[in-house]
Amino acid sequence: MKYCSTCGHPVEQKIPQGDNRHRYVCLSCDTIHYQNPRIVAGTVPIWDGRILLCRRAIEPRYGYWTLPAGFMENAETTIEAAARETREEALAEVNIEGLYSIIDVPHINQVHMFYRATLTDGQFGAGDESLETQLFDLNDIPWDELSFPTVRKTLELYLEDLKSEAFQVHVTDIRYPMPARK
């Protein structure tokens, strides 16, 4: 950030009085510009025991497989955001079954939230942000071609829970990019 969105004058990073973190502060009007983590919401969409994945048609990670997910918009809930992203990326309608994973990613200022979901009618396709979509048998997940560590972690947790037939909400974090699975 270089300029104040309130008055247009330059800003500098400093710790405002009474605060404990660096913030962008306007040199002219003293407005403090807070920057907070962004929320990514998505689903783990299931149909007939298979997981629906999308091959990304956008950067970052163009061409890699992902769960349908994206940034939450203002004036929507996380459930609405997850369902919307699934509709936009996979042209699929889902029944949300419950919150599944919350993964803090502090080194990129994001929080990723995934919901367990079932496709309502088994229909899906490739939205504007997807090259293709595909239902994967659990043994055929393209682990070496997954887009993000949060997607990998959520899928790993899902497979573990599926074995025990007990789904719970997982709260974890990824502080640094994880190495690729061998």
Q: Where are the domains of the chain?
A: 1-35, 38-173
Specify the pLDDT at position 177: 59
Q: What is the pLDDT of residues 31-83, one digit of tens each?
A: 999 999 999 999 999 999 999 999 999 999 999 999 999 999 999 999 999 99
Phi/psi for 110 (5° steps) reads -135, 155
Structure token digits, residue 45: 């969409």
Specify the pLDDT at position 181: 52
Closest CA to 55 of 156, 134, 137, 151: 134
Q: What is the pLDDT of residues 83-135, one digit of tens each?
A: 999 999 999 999 999 999 999 999 999 999 999 999 999 999 999 999 999 99
Residue 182 pLDDT class (50, 70, 90 cuts):
very low
Specify the pLDDT at position 154: 98
Query: Has residue 179 got a pLDDT over 70?
Result: no
Closest CA to 97 of 45, 148, 62: 45
Query: Has residue 156 got a pLDDT over 60?
Result: yes
Residue 13's SS3 state is strand
Residue 155 pLDDT class (50, 70, 90 cuts):
very high
Pick the CATH number of 38-173 from 3.90.105.10, 3.90.79.10, 3.40.228.10, 1.10.10.10: 3.90.79.10
Residue 176 pLDDT class (50, 70, 90 cuts):
confident
* d(C-alpha 129, C-alpha 89), whole Å: 6
Q: Indicate the pTM of the whole model.
A: 0.89
How far, rounded to the nearest angstrom, does the alpha carbon of residue 13 sit from its chain's CA centroid? 28
Closest CA to 160 of 4, 18, 44: 44
| Segment (H or E) for 88 | helix 78-90
Output 182 or 7, whichever has higher pLDDT: 7
CATH of domain 1-35: 2.20.70.10
